[in-house]
């Protein structure tokens, strides 16, 4: 008998029908002789709706209270799922993140898991129950407060529980058939990937492929937990994310030269205009940002105009942190002598990811060529060993992704990418 951790995303449990469909699938897994631990997300777009509601009552909602609000979404789905499973004749119990032993640091809205003590979950499955755990939430031992792990955090809950319970597999069920070479909502000719390494998946995830959260992939790599990403709507095999290539028939799946194209429209750009070009200024700007617990992504400093001795510094950050960043910089204005701040939330980031980039020098030029043929203007550039990213205007993102996808020969011969549910929000 094995122990399986299954995570069902919001689109898989969007309504009562969805919950009943998922419950049937869970009971089948249990009946085939496995112990089953399920991690569930909030129904459909519940989390977005709760955030909208919070913003209607407060422009920058207090972090602790926002966590209290958002964790209610997963409490609804976990209880309903447990009821649906029980009505199929299978015992089930639901648990909050705190009850399941998900211990985090005390940073609200993007806490990190620091330990998982799954005693109650193990005891529950040992008694024959299916244990249902609310995703995306935990508790801080320091403050005793409830925390959330950041958007998409249920993926991380699933992998962390799989590691703590020594599970045989962690299955992430979603609304597409696996990880594709691009978002199937944007590229109909995207191809399903059978196997992808942790390294390439990490880059895709941190570049905006929200099919898996990057922290979840980080965690899986650290504890070497293979992940199987698949659809809860079809019975098809999905994508394996692991260290070692999987076998297919007699053959091993090869590492792809280029794994895929990711895009991200969740970031904004802040430009600090007129910064004195002298040591310590950049440090002061980014100290103010980091003290506000904001993670930044790309940074560009323009060459200073010799006559003024002033320069501009631009950086990208999650849109959700935009107001906080502007507030932090305005507060630091006496210490940092800049002229003004510009905030631009109409940007998109497009990234090409593949381990083959290391050994193929032409990839960068081909990427820029594809964008220029599509008439896409590049505003910022950043690279890693296996990724190139550019920032463009948000309104050209779909065209740009399709152009790059075609240029690197990633298009499939058929329109095989099916999106079964979800609103893509």
The beta strand positions in 190-346, using DSSP E, are 195-197, 227-231, 239-242, 247-248, 251-252, 260-264, 267-276, 299-301, 310-318, 340-344
Site membership for Mg ion, residue 138 (CB under 5 A) = no
* Angle subtended at Cα 331 by Cα 327 and Cα 334, rounded to the nearest 5 degrees: 145
Q: Which residue has the CB atom at the shortest distance from Mg ion?
A: 152
Residue from 26, 70, 176, 329 in contact with ligand ADP (CB under 6 A): 176
Q: Between the CA of residue 170 and those of 2, 24, 224, 258, what are the distances in Å?
A: 12, 18, 11, 25
208 binds ligand ASP (CB under 6 A): no
For ligand ADP, the binding residue among 4, 10, 22, 189 (CB under 6 A) is 10
Per DSSP, helices labelled H in 1-62 are 16-31, 46-57
**Cβ of residue 155: shortest distance to Mg ion, in angstroms?**
6
Least distance (Å) between residue 161 CB and ligand ADP = 16
208 contact partners, CB below 8 Å, separation of at least 6: 262, 263, 264, 265, 266, 349, 351
Beta carbon of residue 213, minimum distance to ligand ASP (angstroms, whole number) = 7
The residue count for binding Mg ion (CB under 5 A) is 2
d(CA 362, CA 160): 39
Q: Minimum CB separation from Mg ion for residue 248, in Å?
A: 27
Show the binding pattern over residues 94-133: x = contacts Mg ion (CB under 5 A), - = does not: ----------------------------------------
**Residue 380 Cβ vs ligand ADP, minimum distance, rounded to whole Å:** 21
- Nearest distance from C-beta of residue 86 to ligand ADP, angstroms: 24
Of 41, 104, 181, 271, the one binding ligand ASP by CB under 6 A: 41
CA 355 vs CA 204, 277, 327, 391: distances in Å: 11, 37, 39, 21
Residue 42 CB, nearest approach to ligand ASP (Å)? 4
Tokens standing for residue 232: 């809860």
Partner in contact with 180, chosen from ligand ADP, ligand ASP, Mg ion, none, beta carbon below 5 to 8 Å by kind: ligand ADP
Residues 138-167 interacting with ligand ADP (rule: CB under 6 A): 152
Per CB under 5 A, the list member of 118, 150, 152, 184 interacting with Mg ion is 152
> Residues binding ligand ASP: what is the number (CB under 6 A)?
13
DSSP helix/strand/coil, 46: helix
Distance (Å, rounded) from C-alpha 189 to C-alpha 402? 9
**Is residue 188 part of the contact set for ligand ADP (CB under 6 A)?**
no
333's CB contacts (< 8 A; 6+ apart) are none
**In angstroms, rounded to a whole number, what is the distance separating the alpha carbons of residues 49 and 53?**
6
Task: Establish if 309 lies at the interface with ligand ADP (CB under 6 A).
Answer: no
| Selected range binding Mg ion among 65-73, 116-124, 150-158, 294-302, rule: CB under 5 A | 150-158
Applying CB under 5 A, which part among 9-17, 18-26, 43-51, 327-335 lies near Mg ion?
9-17
Per-residue DSSP letters for 50-74?
Answer: HHHHHHHH-SS--HHHHHHHHHHHH
Closest contact distance (angstroms) between CB of 9 and Mg ion is 5
- Interface ranges with ligand ADP (CB under 6 A): 9-12, 41, 152, 174-176, 179-180, 182-185, 209-211, 260, 419, 422, 424
- Interface ranges with Mg ion (CB under 5 A): 9, 152
């Amino acid at each position: 008998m094995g122990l399986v951790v299954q995570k069902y995303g919001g689109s898989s449990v969007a309504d009562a029908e969805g919950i009943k469909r998922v419950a049937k699938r869970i009971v089948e897994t249990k009946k085939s002789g496995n112990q089953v631990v399920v991690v569930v997300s909030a129904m459909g777009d519940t989390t977005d709706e709760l955030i909208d509601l919070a913003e209607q009552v407060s422009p920058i909602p207090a972090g602790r209270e926002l966590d209290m609000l958002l964790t209610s979404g997963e409490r609804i789905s976990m209880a309903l799922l447990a009821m649906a499973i029980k009505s199929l004749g299978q015992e089930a119990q639901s648990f909050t993140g705190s009850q399941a032993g998900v211990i985090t640091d005390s940073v609200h809205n993007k806490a990190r898991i620091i330990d998982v003590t799954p005693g109650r979950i193990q005891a529950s499955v040992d008694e024959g129950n299916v244990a249902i755990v609310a995703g995306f939430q935990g508790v801080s031992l320091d403050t005793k407060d409830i925390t959330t792990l950041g958007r998409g955090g249920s993926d991380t809950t699933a992998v962390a529980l799989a590691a703590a319970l020594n599970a045989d597999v962690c299955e992430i069920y979603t609304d597409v058939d696996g990880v594709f070479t691009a978002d199937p909502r944007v590229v109909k000719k995207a191809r399903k990937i059978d196997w992808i390494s942790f390294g390439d998946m990490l880059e895709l995830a941190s570049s905006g492929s929200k099919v898996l959260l990057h922290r979840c992939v980080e965690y899986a790599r650290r504890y070497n937990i293979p992940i199987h990403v698949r659809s809860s709507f079809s019975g098809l095999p999905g994508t394996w994310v692991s260290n070692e290539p999987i076998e297919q028939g007699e053959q091993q799946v090869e590492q792809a030269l280029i794994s895929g194209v990711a895009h991200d429209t969740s970031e904004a750009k802040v430009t600090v205009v007129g910064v004195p070009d002298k040591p310590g200024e950049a440090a002061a700007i980014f100290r103010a940002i980091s003290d506000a617990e904001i993670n930044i992504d790309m940074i560009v400093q323009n060459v200073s105009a010799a006559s003024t001795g002033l320069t501009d510094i631009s950086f990208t950050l999650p849109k959700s942190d935009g107001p906080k960043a502007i507030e932090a910089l305005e507060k630091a204005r006496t210490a940092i002598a800049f002229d003004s701040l510009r905030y631009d939330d109409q940007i998109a980031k497009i990234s090409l990811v593949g381990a083959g980039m290391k050994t193929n020098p032409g990839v960068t030029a081909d990427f820029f060529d594809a964008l220029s043929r599509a008439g896409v203007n590049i505003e910022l550039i950043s690279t890693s060993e296996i990724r190139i990213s550019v920032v463009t205007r948000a309104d050209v993102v779909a065209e740009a992704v399709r152009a790059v996808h075609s240029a690197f020969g990633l298009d499939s011969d058929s329109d095989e990418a099916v999106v079964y549910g979800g609103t893509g929000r």
